[in-house]
Amino acid sequence: MAFFPALGGSRLRIAAVGFLGLRALLEELAPGYSSLAEVVILDKAYGDAVESIAHLRQAGGVDAVVSAGSNGSFLREHLDLPVVLVKPGGFDVMQGLARASGKAQRLAVVTYGEVPSELAHFNERFSLQVDLRSYTTEEEAEACVQELAASGTEAVVAPGLVVDLARSYGLEGVLLYSRGAVREAMEGAVEVARIARLEAAKREKLSTILGHLKDGVVAVNLDERIETINPEMESIIGLSAAQLIGQRLGDVRSELSLAGTLRTGEAVVEQVQQVNGKTVVVTRMPIVEQGRQTGAVLICQDPIAIQRLDRSLRSRAQPGSRHARYGLSNLIGQSEALQRVRQRARTCAQSSATVLIVGESGTGKELLAQGIHNASARQSQPFVAINCAAFPETLLESELFGYVDGAFTGSSRGGKVGLFEAAHTGTIFLDEIGDMPLPLQTRLLRVLQEKEVLRVGATEPTPVDVRVIAATHRNMEQQVAQGEFRQDLYYRLNILLVHLPPLRARLADLPMLASHLADKIATRLNNRKLADEGLINVLVEAAQGYDWPGNIRELENLIERTMVFHEPLRMGGPVTREALQEIAPELFSLRDAKPSQALRSSRAEAELMLLRDVLNECGGNRELAAERLGISRTTLWRKLRRLNELKP
Ligand SMILES: Nc1ncnc2c1ncn2[C@@H]1O[C@H](COP(=O)(O)OP(=O)(O)OP(=O)(O)O)[C@@H](O)[C@H]1O
């Protein structure tokens, strides 16, 4: 689509500067342009004319100026506006001479600047004996008229200034400019004014665009002098546009110099640089107009903004990959213990403080973390999860914190965004935090304290706003006591504690959980018949005496195993206790075959450890501990006594 900027709504405005004869001609011609432009006639010269034009510009603006002779040249030098000069042609000179010859014998032609060569040639060729003179300053004009008067010249054909002077010396003065020359100048001025308006509209549009850009932009001419700069670049450089326009960019900030681009004419794209102590991504490009280089432009981008954009593009490209799928309502179970967990999770969701979830493997720690995130104000932001036990130290470090280009051999070009940066404005879930190596614990502590990450190999940290939810199945107090986990980090993580009880401590939830999981798996396996109630009943009955070391994940696996291996179920037939015994012997063997003393003691040990942990967390308060475990106080007391007896 072509671009036709409007002329700014108002009429063009032209200042026509001239006195005496020129002024009379301007006044005569001006009404003929009233539909195109307002012509303001100024009977002023030199400095006074400049001043009057300045006032006019303030009161409504001026698009172009028409003037002539030395006055016109003076205005051209002192105004940053287009000035169109009335140019006398050969015909004007002849007309002037014809008019003057009717009044006098001895004639002179005085021109501004040099005497046109064709006039001198014409004069000589036809032996006209017209005295040809020229001037550039007002003083020269006066001296010239004095000389002419002294040498007996009777009439002078000249620009207005000289005509005026001639008359003051008693000579005849004939204005050099014809009506045609003035009309031509007026027409030129209207056209120039129209183009100036179009240019101004384009410039305004460009500066509005540049003003709204988040990137810093500066353009220079071939002499590397700043011609255009946007506010973002002003703040990167630390100086205002008024201070910068016209300066050489390389003199102001050598690190931003465009001299190389002007010399080679080649673009250099996305270089990482330090400017004013800040890291920026810089692109340099030549400006080429109609095949000719006319300057160069430099664009500065904020790397954090690029990363944010990169992240949003990536997350859009992989929907759901950085999102929490589950809410607190997906946490199935109505036992008192689970209801308390849900209530506590809702409280956690109200704040942005770090949460520590403690619970055995498979108890739903990640599900709970997702639920907290989705119930929090960060729900529409990224949720990023990582299992700290699943990576060797160096890999975990680069996964969490990212690295810069060339940080180590084999690192990807362009560096890598760490999960902390990827989780910016959202939540990061650090599973198995107790398995994080000590050096990384130190780095994590720094992130939590300073709210910024330092990529591997980087010198400058990147600010991040991330809510941390950590989880562990380990006894962290013990880890701290044994020097395996930093105490200060433990305190930082343990601001809001949620204890997820094991399945065996809330067997009341088992029927509901089994039925929910059976539904889920049957849907996944695309066979609704599998979610048979008979299966749930047999399973629930058989599972009551079982310990569920793998908790809900184990229950889920067991249901899936039964669905896959039990032929009659697939046909819609019943599941018998015997069939289940075959598929999941572990459910029965421990109870039926009386566990060995060694097995019993190790299970007792594990349970005792859990009870003690919870008691410790509750400061020895048995009521609170029983509540957290989802059992009654008497059961807790009984268990403690029995387990202590069982201990080898
Ligand atoms: N209360 C619950 N309701 C429904 N499903 C649950 C519940 N708790 C856990 N699950 C399911 O059990 C499986 C294991 O849960 P999750 O991965 O959250 O446990 P985890 O404690 O983080 O395990 P790990 O410590 O081994 O990483 C998941 O499929 C999860 O959806």
- The verdict on 338 and 480 lying in the same domain is yes
Q: What are 471-481's pLDDT values in tens digits?
A: 999 999 999 99
CB 250 within 8 A of CB 259: yes
List all residues whose CB is within 6 A of at least one atom of ligand 1.
Answer: 331-333, 359, 361-367, 431, 473, 513, 516, 552-553, 556
CA distances from 363 to 113, 206, 328, 339, 376 (A): 97, 59, 14, 14, 22
Is pLDDT larger for residue 505 or for residue 530? Answer: 505
- Strand pairing category for 107-112 and 131-135: parallel
d(CA 562, CA 570): 10
Q: What are 304-336's pLDDT values in tens digits?
A: 666 655 554 544 444 345 788 899 999 999 999
Q: Kindly report the CATH number assigned to the domain that includes residue 531.
A: 1.10.8
- The verdict on 412 and 429 lying in the same domain is yes
Q: Which of 479, 500, 521 is the last residue of a domain?
A: 500
Q: Is residue 101 part of a domain?
A: yes
- The verdict on 275 and 413 lying in the same domain is no
Q: What are 271-296's pLDDT values in tens digits?
A: 888 887 778 889 999 998 888 899 99
Q: Is residue 131 part of a domain?
A: yes
Q: What are 596-617's pLDDT values in tens digits?
A: 454 455 556 667 777 777 787 7
Can you state the angle between helices 117-125 and 90-101, rounded to 10 degrees?
Answer: 50
Q: Which residues contact 540 (CB under 8 A, 6 or more apart)?
A: 510, 511, 514
Q: How would residue 587 be classed by pLDDT, with cut points 50, 70 and 90?
A: confident
* Matching residue, tokens 């040639």: 121
Q: Is residue 536 part of a domain?
A: yes
What is the pLDDT averaged over residues 95-114? 88
Q: Kindly report the CATH number assigned to the domain that includes residue 115.
A: 3.40.50.10660
- The verdict on 509 and 615 lying in the same domain is no
Residue nearest to ligand 1 atom 9, measured at CA: 364
Instruction: List residues bridging with 497 in a β-sheet.
Output: 356
Residue nearest to ligand 1 atom 29, measured at CA: 553
Is pLDDT larger for residue 300 or for residue 561? Answer: 300
Candidate of 339, 361, 509, 552 to mutate for ligand 1, largest count of ligand atoms within 8 Å of Cβ: 552
pLDDT of residue 13: 92
Q: Is residue 105 part of a domain?
A: yes
Q: Which atom of ligand 1 is nearest to the CA of 363?
A: 21
- The verdict on 638 and 564 lying in the same domain is no
- The verdict on 525 and 388 lying in the same domain is no
Phi, psi of 519 (to 5 degrees): -60, -50
Q: Is residue 308 part of a domain?
A: no
- The verdict on 360 and 480 lying in the same domain is yes
- The verdict on 478 and 378 lying in the same domain is yes
Domains contained in the chain, number: 6
pLDDT of residue 526: 78
Q: Kindly report the CATH number assigned to the domain that includes residue 638.
A: 1.10.10
| Cα of 48 from ligand 1 centre, angstroms | 87
Instruction: List residues bridging with 217 in a β-sheet.
Output: 299
d(CA 333, CA 82): 82
* Consecutive H or E run containing 228: strand 226-229
In the chain, % of residues over pLDDT 70:
88
| Cα of 338 from ligand 1 centre, angstroms | 13
- The verdict on 355 and 379 lying in the same domain is yes
- The verdict on 370 and 473 lying in the same domain is yes
Q: Which of 554, 573, 592 is the last residue of a domain?
A: 592
- The verdict on 245 and 287 lying in the same domain is yes
Q: Is residue 4 part of a domain?
A: no
Q: Is residue 513 part of a domain?
A: yes
Candidate of 366, 373, 517 to mutate for ligand 1, largest count of ligand atoms within 8 Å of Cβ: 366
CB 647 within 8 A of CB 603: no
Q: Is residue 336 part of a domain?
A: yes
Q: Which of 471, 500, 529 is the last residue of a domain?
A: 500
- The verdict on 403 and 336 lying in the same domain is yes
Domain that holds residue 61: 12-86+182-194
Is pLDDT larger for residue 413 or for residue 203? Answer: 203
Q: Kindly report the CATH number assigned to the domain that includes residue 234.
A: 3.30.450.20
Is pLDDT larger for residue 595 or for residue 405? Answer: 405
